[in-house]
Amino acid sequence: MPIVLNGTDGITQADQFNSDSTFGFKNRIINGAMMIDQRNAGASITNDTTNTQFPVDRFGIWGQVASKYTAQQNAGSVTPPAGFTNYLGITSSSAYTPLGANDLYMVAQQIEGFNTADLNWGTANAKTVTLSFWVRSSGLTYPATFGGSLQNSAVNRSYPFAYTISAANTWEQKSITIPGDISGTWVGATNGIGIRVWFALGVGTNYSGTAGAVAGWAGADYRSVTSATNVLATNGATLYITGVQLEVGSTATSFDYRPYTTELQLCQRYFQTYGYGIGSPNEVPLGTGYYFTSVEAIVLAYFSVTMRTKPTYSSATVTNGYRYSRPGASTTINSLPYYGTSSQSIAFFGDINVPVAGSAGNAVVIIAEQPGARVNFSAEL
């Protein structure tokens, strides 16, 4: 057992620990305290049907029908539980009932295989894990049963779990111990999806199963438990969550508080954004390069951290939002042409459309200089 040495009590026994959950990367969830929100800066977003959206980094939302709920960092200005400064808030926007059999309204984090391979799931040496989190709800009948699940990448191995919220408007900590799956196919040490962690808002019968604590692991695609509460059935109902932790062992230990910079860099492996107002000053240089003819220029930029894979690129179109600048001249443009990306860098490329003619060898810089001028790079799982 661990010990503590102090000048008053001498040697005393400390809290329970085990080597797997105490040293190194204890919490396999990234941004479990909901601190990082690169995309929205705390603004509310509404679910749609075509894209996974991220109200905070690494936690995605979606649903079959658009505009059924909103999601926001620190929605409703509720005081977080002790030890936390942020949470993810879900608010129902309608009275959506009954659920269709194939309906899926979810919050999820998909954990990279490099961060789960040591669990040895799919083998006789599979390790037990514990999922813990803080939740709060309002607008429903309590006590209320909620659901979620852990799944493999192929969504054909599932461990549905249930938890109960006892009272409205009260933060409650929940803990679910999950035996490692000794069957099925699980992604090893790769940059693919190692484990999917689902929190259900409203899930149809075709994706709901018996809780794993009763039935064990199932060879099916289950995202929740049968008869779980449908948060979307009540207009204005809420579900708030923070302090999400997935760790090795059969006991939930104290939350793994990582330095803010570390947590941000972990998030930036999956998403990075650059543009006006991100940092100081408001005008932000995006990259530097050179003219290799009088009308052709290439500008290179390097990511803050190496991304999980070659990211997709998007940029906002803003009137006079970006500026090409070279010695002695500059001009504004509305959008950025780009040549390509790798997991470490991007190249912006301009030909005769570059408004500022230069000479071969002239240096050039691209600057985001208007509100909304931003470029995004996503390598989400």
CA atoms of 35 and 43, how far apart (whole Å): 14
Kindly report whether the peptide bond that precedes residue 311 is cis, defined as omega within 30 degrees of 0: no
What is the pLDDT, as a whole number, of residue 355? 55
Distance CA 85, CA 82 (A): 8
User: What's the DSSP call for residue 380?
Assistant: -
pLDDT of residue 330: 82
Q: CATH class for domain 3-268?
A: mainly beta
The predicted structure's pLDDT at residue 266: 98
The tens digit of pLDDT for each residue in 43-79 reads 999 999 988 999 999 999 989 999 999 999 999 989 9
For residue 371, the tally of other CB atoms under 10 A from its CB is: 13
Give the per-residue pLDDT at 335: 86
Q: Which helix (H) or strand (E) holds 20?
A: helix 19-22
pTM of the model: 0.92
264 three-class SS: helix
Mean pLDDT for each consecutive 10-residue tract of the chain (381 residues)? 48 48 80 98 94 96 95 96 98 96 98 98 98 98 98 98 98 98 97 98 98 96 97 98 98 98 98 86 87 82 96 94 84 84 88 60 89 95 97
Neighbours of 278 (CB within 10 A): 13
**What's the confidence (pLDDT) of residue 350?**
62
pLDDT at residue number 15: 46
Domain ranges of the chain: 3-268, 271-378
